[in-house]
Amino acid sequence: MRVVKNTSMQKDVMSFGMKSILFLQIDLEGHSLWFRNAQSKPAAVDARAQFAESLKKMLWKKHSFRRLYWLGDGGMFFCDVAGLSDFDCAIDVADTVFQIFSDWKAKEEGRAILQLRVSIHYSSPVYTHKEYGYWTSDDLNVFSKYEREIALPGTIAITDKVRPHLLSENIQTRFPKDTEREVFFGRSSVTDALIRYVYYDASLQPPTYPSTYSLFSFLNGLSMEVGLVSNKLVGPASAIRLVFGEAILLYGVGSPSESLRVYLKRCDLPSSYKLTPKELNEVNKKANVIKEEFQKRGLEDKQKVSPERIVFPLSDFPCFTIEYHPEFWSIARAFQKLLEENQSDKSMWSRLAKNAADTQISGMKYPGILCMHILIHTAPTGTGERFVLLCQRNKRGPEGFFHEGKWSCSIEEQVNIGETIERCVRRGISEELLGPQVSEHLEVKVVAAFIERVLLNLTLLAVVDIPMSYEDIVERWMRDAIDKNEHRQLVALPLREDLVVKCLKSGKLDSNARGACLVSDKKTFNSTMKWELHPTSPLRLATALWFKSLGGE
């Protein structure tokens, strides 16, 4: 029997190779806004091409790093590690990248909003081909997919495949142990994750918040300045981008002009809760107390949107889907009250908090209420000064009332079944502040998604500019708001950096801020004894400062 060899298949197999590769990934943060603001779009395209070509030329000249690909605002370079005694060359190349970027950025004033992210990873084996588009390996796929979660603007990130064994001792000191960030990318379990830890170059200081661009970058710099302590008890770290006080941030927009699009998808078969029989019994007991008070007050125990998971987009487009099931308010609030009470021993809270931020893979296996925390800007005064609205929550509310007497920046609302995110925000402003006539036409910008630390609750941060003076808002609140009793009083705080920073440091509306506020009811204001901020007011105040610093409208 004659055997015919498939020579074409043999050639295809032989065209692939197996190599050990160092990858260096580069991304321009703020690229979209820079391009939108460019007076000449062709000139911006040409400038971007010049930057990419400079990198290609210098990285090959420096340590024989070739360009694997370049797509728009970033790309990947690589080096075959055969013959290398260590990986110091990758750090040297990264330093060169920053120098090229700095020189290129300085050539035009409009490039000041740009920041650079650089990350380095080692992969073996990589299946290579003379056509770079055919390269593949699990490591390469994961490193490329999670670039935004690995890299930070203004510094160099290296994975645990590069440190600690493959850098010289001198270079290793630039990536100290205390910069370690725990991540688990690429596999379902901790032990076999392809990337477990990321380290950052301590010798490169990320830019401080006045000059940064994205919301995350701004908040990161500001949190370091005011000394907010990061709480590491909520996890997993791979799902968390930043901790800002009581807010565990999962997502933030790249510029004040962006708005996160959120789609709500109802689940036909909701997942079961990961609560013990004893915990479920306690939740039901507390829920019955809440229901009884509702009945006495003639109120309805409505169903709310209880998030199950977030489905993030595959692209950088700011959108995601929240899968949810309906849950009665009494059940969700009873569970949250149990969490608040559990802060002393933290047994239940700690068990659930370990994966509370893993909203995509594991999902949220407990009752919740999707909330909107709404930051409201008032119309600028005649001098052009910008203000944010502060509302003191009433001192006494029904059973389960949130944060009695604390100062919110500005209001909170819960998402009802069947309404969009934007509709929820407008309804909240209508019911608690303005009435429907103005609220229906307000623009809503969703800028962040986060977990409230104590409640482990998924919350979205929205920003709304109300084209009315503070005095007009107070007048409508007194005249038209259905739920005006949600608040004890309204004041307006000037968006001055010194005032906001002092409030963030103290966690209160301090004496300097109080003295600068616009106040309509001076009698109530002067008799106030409680000045503590709502747990997420620091995040909202900082976001307001970010908008002002970047000229957001």
> What is the rounded CA–CA span in Å between residue 27 and residue 120?
12
Cis peptide, bond prior to residue 206, ω within 30 of zero: no
Determine whether 242 is exposed, middle or buried from the number of CB atoms within 10 Å of its CB (0-12, 13-18, 19+).
buried
Instruction: Give phi and psi for 19, each to the nearest 5.
Output: -140, 165
Contact 147, 69 (CB under 8 A): no
Determine whether 274 is exposed, middle or buried from the number of CB atoms within 10 Å of its CB (0-12, 13-18, 19+).
middle
Q: Where are the beta strands (DSSP E) in 8-112?
A: 16-29, 66-71, 74-80
> What is the rounded CA–CA span in Å between residue 371 and residue 373?
6
> What is the rounded CA–CA span in Å between residue 392 and residue 373?
14
pLDDT at 387: 94
Nearest to 17 by CA among 175, 157, 125, 160: 125
From residue 442, alpha-carbon distances to 14, 64, 391 in Å are 62, 55, 19
Identity at 238, one-letter amino acid code: S
Contact 254, 33 (CB under 8 A): yes
* Domain residue limits, the chain: 8-206, 261-549
pLDDT at 209: 40
* DSSP symbols for 265-322: EE-SSPPPP---HHHHHHHHHHHHHHHHHHHHTT----EEEEEEEEE--SSSSSEEEE
pLDDT at 57: 95
pLDDT at 9: 46
Q: How far is CA 429 from the centre of its chain?
A: 24
> What is the rounded CA–CA span in Å between residue 296 and residue 289?
11
Per-residue pLDDT of the chain (553 residues; tens, 9 = 90+): 454 455 554 555 557 789 999 999 999 987 877 888 888 999 999 999 999 999 999 999 988 999 999 988 899 999 999 988 899 999 999 999 999 999 999 999 888 878 899 999 999 999 999 899 899 998 888 898 888 778 887 889 999 999 866 888 889 999 988 788 777 777 655 567 788 888 988 887 554 443 446 788 788 878 877 877 656 688 887 788 888 999 999 988 878 888 999 999 999 777 889 999 999 999 999 999 999 988 888 888 999 999 999 987 655 567 889 999 999 999 999 999 999 887 666 688 989 998 899 898 889 999 999 999 999 999 887 777 889 999 999 876 555 557 788 999 999 999 999 999 999 999 999 999 998 888 888 999 999 999 999 999 999 999 999 999 999 999 999 999 998 888 999 999 999 999 999 999 999 999 999 999 999 999 999 999 999 999 999 999 999 999 988 764 4
- Any bridge partners for residue 158, and if so which? 120, 199
> What is the rounded CA–CA span in Å between residue 195 and residue 338?
36
Contact 142, 124 (CB under 8 A): no
Q: Dig out the tokens for 414 from the structure.
A: 């819960």
Q: Dig out the tokens for 312 from the structure.
A: 């993030």
What's the pTM value of the predicted model, to 2 decimals? 0.72
Fold of 8-206: Alpha-Beta Plaits (3.30.70)
| CATH code, residues 261-549 | 3.90.79.10
Question: Looking up tokens 């986060």, which residue turns up?
Answer: 450
pLDDT at 190: 53
Burial 50-84 (b: 16+ CB within 10 A, else e): ebbeebbebbeeebebebbebeebbbbbbbbbeee
> What is the rounded CA–CA span in Å between residue 178 and residue 542?
26
From residue 543, alpha-carbon distances to 216, 275, 415, 548 in Å are 10, 35, 22, 9
